[in-house]
Structure 1
Amino acid sequence: MEYFIWNADPVAFSFGEMSVFWYGILFALAMLSGLEIMKWIYRYEKLNSQQLDTIFLYVVIGIVIGARLAHCFFYEPAYYLAHPLEILYVHKGGLASHGGGLGALIGIYVYKRKYTLNFIWFLDKIAIPTAIFAFFVRLGNFMNSEILGRSTDLPWAIVFARVDNIPRHPAQLYEAFAYLFIAILLFIIYIKSQNRLKDGFLFGLFLVLVFIVRILVEFVKVRQADYATDMMFSTGQYLSVPFILIGAYLMYRALKK
């Protein structure tokens, strides 16, 4: 069977010794698209969107720090405990989505402590751009030929030629398009049920859907953490469970109101 061969160069273009990676471009697009969607939501609800630029800064810092620390200590703890200075080498790659999500929440909470902000209300609104953000990030992983799927003989398998010649599940694309679907679903619910939704429902639904997808796709992924090779479930699956429980609680709480 002929499989699709993926051999994209992770580097989009270079200026002398400086290289710009596709992952960086898509990460920046994820951030900017999220900000623009939030500005649209604020305009739609006739709110002042000026504070969003400051919140955006807190969220970006939270995502980068949280994602980096989670990758270092959940996926490669032995290496980074032996080489602690390399935790700062973000440019070399290694960001974990669970940590990024938690970091974003902490960033928003820190902002709330300094300024006026309805925390749960804001989380509901940021759920939609966050799903879009996840879509772009997984496309970046695809461009990097990383976060690989397990081998398969399914007709849509992809050979990541920069890694090996094994046909694999395109796990990055499974997640990317699942997150895009979730973003569209959340947007439709937001528009059609805006006046009936209680605070926390939309964000709770986001958590439940996103991390159920994460658990399911992990079954066809190559294990990222070396210590998890012989475990029944992957590190990503274990880390997803608390987010699902929190999401279910937020939905129950909102529906009870």
Structure 2
Amino acid sequence: MRVPFIKMHGLGNDFVVLDAREQAIPPISRASAAALADRRTGIGCDQLILLEPAAVADFRMRIFNADGGEVEACGNASRAVALLHGEPATVETAGGTIRVEPTGHGARIDMGVPRFEWHAIPLAYAVDTLAMPVGWEGLEAPVAVNVGNPHAVFFVDDLEAVPIERLGPLIETDPLFPARVNVNVAQVTGPAEIALKVWERGARLTRACGTGACATTVAAIRRGLVEGRAAVVTLPGGPLEIEWGEDGRIAMTGPAAESFRGSFDWGDFA
């Protein structure tokens, strides 16, 4: 069976998109998702995105990280899917229903309302999520935020001095985070500007993380580290505009692009 795919990216965070809204494809296993994501023997991507019909939204988006694990949300993929769909839509995800709207070369995404309760992150035990009393080799007192998926946000004075590729996997898999966690290391660089790197659970260090930018902006606002309720977050792949509205909802605006299209034999990755 030949299966078509679309290769897309948002600020270099790249995806293989499978569109099963009109033509069904076989079930995706953890092994097949990881095989497709492999950059040497598969198509290669940070996340595999599956679009399916939905009962209460315009369509459903499922997200598989490069290790094959299915996760709840992906902000960059949401922008890519909005661009692919071509018109405003409601999208069902495992992290909740979001609204996407194409904007020329990208999209504006209503990412919903962040959660701060310890059990909603989730954490293994009750703790103050605004300044968690934990640390890993100088990374201390993170803010915990769930924006459809779990994030721990560390604010530092020198982003480039942090060995995130070494500390990221240690924090991601710490027993404090029963569902693992995305690790955000951020430096406030202006009144409404933040530099950010994200170690994504199941995908390692990526060039951009949309949910990470949302979580970090919300954390900075709660800590009083930026002015107002919006910030430009610059990741290695480029900037995203994040706004935390007075209604509690997060809006993310940024670019996305289609790279190429192709097809593969399902039996090679089943």
Q: Same fold (TM over 0.5)?
A: no
- Higher helix share goes to which structure? 1
TM-score range with shorter-chain normalisation? under 0.3
- Higher strand share goes to which structure? 2
Please give the TM-score of this superposition, normalised by the length of structure 2.
0.26
Please give the TM-score of this superposition, normalised by the length of structure 1.
0.27
Between Structure 1 and Structure 2, whose CA radius of gyration is higher? Answer: 1
